[in-house]
Amino acid sequence: MRGRGWKYGSGFVDGVFPVLSPMAQDILDFVQKETDVAKIWESLDKIPPAHNLWDDIINAAVQLRLNRHNWIPIISVCEWIVYRSSFRPDIICYNLLIDAYGQKRQLNKAESIYMTLLEAQCVPTEDTYALLLRAYCNAGSLHRAEGVISEMQENGIPPSATVYNAYLDGLLKARCTEKAVEVYQRMKKERCRTNAETYTLMINVYGKSNQPMSAMKMFNEMKSIGCKANICTYTALVNAFAREGLCEKAEEVFEEMQQAGHEPDVYAYNALMEAYSRAGFPQGASEIFSLMQHMGCEPDRASYNILVDAYGRAGLHQEAEAAFEELKQQGIRPTMKSHMLLLSAHAKSGNVSRCEEVMAQLHKSGLKPDTFALNAMLNAYGRAGRLDDMERLFAAMEKHGGGGPDIGTYNVLVNVYGRAGYLDRMEAAFSAVAARGLAADVVTWTSRIGAYARKKDYARCLEIFEEMVDAGCYPDAGTAKVLLAACSDERQVEQVTAIVRSMHKDAKTLFTI
């Protein structure tokens, strides 16, 4: 089949899979084990030039693509075809190379191979453009991605749904919500036919930017034009509500998915578990976990991580520990995230010694703590009042560069210093945010207001609130609660209520008092 089943983004289509001959299997096994490109090329040179050799090599490369993350062997094989062999590369070979270069963020090479295929008078397919777009988005070069669309239009090739979907996928991964919405509107304006993948991507875009009602609106629009939602669409919508802890809405979508004839998979169950976790109902998450097992759906690493997180958020550190241990008993290797969630659970309960043990365990596993894990450790020290240890760890984070402080780090410092009443240190930590090139978020500002609210310094709280709004950061329910805590009489409560209600009309985030 010469690898023709391979299609961008979806593995194989129409049930076409490469059937590997013994020679193709040998090539596949060899290139997966050998890391020296020169040796791979020499070995490929020595293979007798039988009439089916081309099929064997391409099928091996396509199988590597199906396995994902095997980008380097794909590059080795396809570069041999292009630069060394007597074969004339076809579009499958070029597309595989563009895809692999894009995944490795080697943009210049992706562009170069695109020029090579044009010079070879090989006609690019919509997949070629889609892969180029995704390569640019992966590397954050959005202006170059726009150039691909322009080039297609200049050549009289209207971008198809495949191309636009690749663009939306790249924008989703880059968290460029506004641009994604703009591209979607352009699709409609150009009368480009949207499909289930388009709507699933847009539901994910809105879901990941904490706009579940916009995600629901997109889902309803999809149904109104007769586009049938698939299991990925439903899961994306469950996830959109899950992120906001809206378990009832997540449950409704989950049930609608089953009524539509889709049997929930591990991703759908995980999304529903996440909804209960975020809403602070660990028992709900646990029940979904048990239901998943009862229905014969095998939990994966993410399922256990969500369970650890659900118990950790609720302060049930022993249950979180038990879920972590069960993950290991199932033969699943805990990742950095698994350790980080366990660390957070113990940090919340104030068990600093266990946090230090988890950190040692992490090192022993050969994993280098990332910023999230270090932030959890900082928080543990701060909550326990061990500010010297917290400051030592923070100094080490600044010194080592990798896993350096992020906005979450400064949020911990501002919160801990504010709660301890060290207002000078808190203000210094807040000032360091901008100095480091970071932007204070709603948590940073609210923690800062909270420090003065505890001292009932109402005037200072309002000053900071005004600074926050001027900086373009919108308050949430936590901010409203902290402002109300600063009030010492009925008049101030009325004033805060009026301010918050007036903000509510324009605010990008929905909150209630």
Q: Are the C-beta atoms of residues 54 and 60 closer than 8 Å to each other?
A: no
Q: How confident is the model at residue 473 (pLDDT cuts 50, 70, 90)?
A: confident
Q: Helix axis angle, 458-470 relative to 442-453, nearest 10°?
A: 170
Q: Model confidence over 34-70: pLDDT tens digits?
A: 889 999 999 999 988 777 888 889 888 888 888 766 7
Let me know if 424 is exposed, middle or buried by CB neighbors in 10 A (0-12, 13-18, 19+).
Answer: exposed
Q: Model confidence over 215-270: pLDDT tens digits?
A: 999 999 999 999 999 999 999 999 999 999 999 999 999 999 999 999 999 999 99
Residue 511: pLDDT over 60: no
Q: Are the C-beta atoms of residues 438 and 407 closer than 8 Å to each other?
A: yes
Q: Which two tokens stand for residue 349?
A: 């309960």
Q: Facing residues of 11 across strands? A: 7
Q: How confident is the model at residue 348 (pLDDT cuts 50, 70, 90)?
A: confident
Q: What is the mean pLDDT of residues 99-103?
A: 91
What is the full DSSP assignment across 438-469?
----HHHHHHHHHHHHTTT-HHHHHHHHHHHH
Measured over the CA atoms of residue 140, residue 141, residue 143 and residue 148, the dihedral's sign is: negative
Q: Which two tokens stand for residue 66?
A: 């199906």
**pLDDT value at residue 125:** 85
Q: Model confidence over 112-156: pLDDT tens digits?
A: 999 999 999 988 888 899 899 888 887 878 788 888 888 888 878
Rg of the chain taking only CA atoms, in angstroms = 27
Give the closest residue to 29 by CA, choosing from 15, 17, 43, 16: 43
Q: Facing residues of 7 across strands? A: 11
How far, in Å, CA of 336 to CA of 288, rounded? Answer: 24
**pLDDT value at residue 284:** 95
**pLDDT value at residue 4:** 45
Neighbouring residues of 151: CB distance < 8 A, sequence distance ≥ 6: none
CA triple 266-272-275, angle to 5 deg = 140
How far, in Å, CA of 99 to CA of 134, rounded? Answer: 8
How far, in Å, CA of 461 to CA of 456, rounded? Answer: 9
Give the closest residue to 45 by CA, choosing from 18, 27, 25, 28: 27
Q: How confident is the model at residue 487 (pLDDT cuts 50, 70, 90)?
A: confident
